[in-house]
Homo-oligomer: A and B are copies of this chain.
Amino acid sequence: MKNKAITSRNEDFAQWYTDVIRAAKLAAYSNVKGCIVIEPNGYAIWERMQQELDKMFKETGHQNLYMPVLIPENLMKKEGELINGFAPEVAWVTIGGQNELEERMCIRPTSETLFSDYYSNVVNSYRDLPKKYNQWCNVMRWEKETRPFLRSREFLWQEGHTIHETAKEAEEETRNMLGVYKKFFEEFLAIPVITGRKTEKEKFAGAEYTLTIEALMYNGVSLQSGTSHYFGQKFSKAYDITFSNRENQLEYVYQTSWGVTTRMIGALIMVHSDENGLILPPKIAPRQVAIIPIGTSDRVKDISNEILNKLSNAGIVAYVDNTERSPGFKFAEAEVNGIPIRIEIGERDLNENKITFARRDTYEKLVEPMDIDIVEYVKELMNKIQNNMFDKAKARLEELTYECHNLDEVKKIMNEKPGFVKAMWCGDPECELKMKEIKGTKSRCILEDAKPIDDKCIVCGKPAKDLVVWGIQY
């Protein structure tokens, strides 16, 4: 039964990951170093993600727009922390047309600078606020080590950028958008996340603070999956973005930004997939049902098409695999592509007035009478699959979440069966550096309003300030 094109997940997780991507044709390596081709099957997942997120962004009052891909160096430099954070990893355009540029420009690694430059055009008074923008685009960060979807020089993302009249409103926005991400991960991707605040060391360059959602991959490695930043007035002071407030005085705006990327596709794979390839949650799967005719009789064909029509009319994305290959081959292909439900239509079943459903998540085969309400049945089955996938991921997250009280415990866990480690921290970046010596363990986030599990820092033993989740990261 085991798909031979895919390395076992427990044997070599990294190889398994690349095998799943290749087998499902999600991405291909390109001759552009550090960049991938997102192939149709991978891009279709991204489109589904975009559709759902875009709807959520618009429902919360955001508007899409588009900023230039290039940022002149001077504009980039205005906010000191940002350029310090990003300068080492940008790509610089130095020649345009035939000529050396007077001022070099970088390909956007993120667009706070351009948005900040733009805001002055659109804001004069508190009446013009808030402005809530989002853009879907490509960005580039000159990474040294790359992995498909998880880390590549170019990636696709959305970046939300907003400005507000008050700190309170901007902080609410920061938190609300983190909530949107959490909801999207849990409801659509079936991936449970923990949320919290990044430490000073790990926050976004230029932010007052960064909120994050963190997911845990099947192998216990953590993945920063979405971040939401509160900038206060840092950028508005650097870029001189003012408005006349209700007291008719000039004030600097309060700013946020937030983003998620094609990295989410990597998360989907690493959380849910198995020895036989991709498994997609029905709510995000670009194709939800594979209908596979067994044999070529007219009856088999007609019923396959009839079911296709019924499902399509109900808004379920199904397809009939009419290619000239064996049913076994078609089953394996639907499997490797992660199609949540397979419907098998064969003469033998039909003679007994039956059809067979197969669940991708559990491999369970369900033989049902022909006269069931197939739309309702498939809808229910998709719900079950969606919930089961979430529950399974949640159980894994819980299984791999530990409370630790000393570094030996952390060492043991990170060496044997890594995951999220909860431990107290004094707030000193030195202690974060010490923790990193244990297999690169980093703070994932500070849990806000969490009950302390100890009174001293797990590293230095001094009085603890925060309960922090730690993990090995991608």
- A interface vs B, CB < 8 Å? 28, 30-32, 35-40, 42-44, 46-47, 63-72, 75, 88-98, 104-105, 107, 114, 117-118, 121, 133, 137-138, 140, 142, 144, 153-154, 156
Ranked nearest first, the 9 interchain pairs of A and B with the lowest CB-CB distance are A35-B68, A40-B63, A97-B142, A92-B95, A38-B66, A32-B68, A96-B142, A94-B94, A91-B93
The chain B residue sitting closest to A25, CB to CB, is B122
Contact: A114 with B30, CB < 8 Å?
yes
Q: How far is the CB of A127 from chain B (nearest CB, A)?
A: 10
Tell me the complex Cα distance, A42–B67, Å: 12
Contact: B66 with A43, CB < 8 Å?
yes
- 8 of the cross-chain contacts (CB-CB < 8 Å) are A32-B68, A32-B70, A32-B114, A36-B68, A43-B63, A91-B93, A91-B97, A94-B95
Copies of the protein in its oligomer: 2
CB contact between A31 and one of B40, B63, B117, B138 (< 8 Å): that residue: B117
Contact: A70 with B35, CB < 8 Å?
yes
Tell me the complex Cα distance, A117–B118, Å: 38
CB contact between A37 and one of B64, B96, B118 (< 8 Å): that residue: B118
Tell me the complex Cα distance, A75–B32, Å: 9
Return chain B residues, CB-CB under 8 Å to A91: 70, 93, 95-97
Return chain B residues, CB-CB under 8 Å to A98: 88
Contact: B70 with A154, CB < 8 Å?
yes
Return chain B residues, CB-CB under 8 Å to A46: 66
CB contact between A30 and one of B38, B42, B118 (< 8 Å): that residue: B118
Q: How far is the CB of A384 from chain B (nearest CB, A)?
A: 29
Return chain B residues, CB-CB under 8 Å to A30: 67-68, 114, 117-118
Q: How far is the CB of A118 from chain B (nearest CB, A)?
A: 6
Return chain B residues, CB-CB under 8 Å to A121: 28
Contact: B140 with A138, CB < 8 Å?
no
Contact: A32 with B65, CB < 8 Å?
no
Contact: A133 with B97, CB < 8 Å?
no
Q: How far is the CB of A14 from chain B (nearest CB, A)?
A: 21
Contact: A154 with B69, CB < 8 Å?
yes
Given A31-B75, A38-B65, A89-B97, 11 other A-B contacts at CB below 8 A?
A: A32-B70, A37-B65, A37-B67, A40-B63, A68-B154, A70-B140, A91-B95, A91-B96, A93-B93, A95-B104, A138-B138
Given contacts A91-B93, A95-B91, A95-B94, contact A72 B40 (CB under 8 A): no
Return chain B residues, CB-CB under 8 Å to A35: 68-70
Counting chain B CB atoms within 10 Å of each CB, which of A38, A88, A89 scores highest?
A: A38
Return chain B residues, CB-CB under 8 Å to A107: 69, 93, 107
Q: How far is the CB of A74 from chain B (nearest CB, A)?
A: 9
Tell me the complex Cα distance, A69–B70, Å: 12
Q: How far is the CB of A70 from chain B (nearest CB, A)?
A: 5
Return chain B residues, CB-CB under 8 Å to A31: 72, 75, 117
Return chain B residues, CB-CB under 8 Å to A156: 66
Tell me the complex Cα distance, A104–B93, Å: 10
CB contact between A64 and one of B32, B43, B88, B104 (< 8 Å): that residue: B43
Tell me the complex Cα distance, A96–B104, Å: 12
Tell me the complex Cα distance, A36–B117, Å: 12
Tell me the complex Cα distance, A2–B118, Å: 30
Return chain B residues, CB-CB under 8 Å to A64: 40, 43-44, 47
Return chain B residues, CB-CB under 8 Å to A153: 96
Tell me the complex Cα distance, A140–B65, Å: 18
Return chain B residues, CB-CB under 8 Å to A28: 118, 121
CB contact between A32 and one of B39, B66, B97, B105 (< 8 Å): that residue: B105
Return chain B residues, CB-CB under 8 Å to A40: 63-65, 133
Contact: B67 with A140, CB < 8 Å?
no
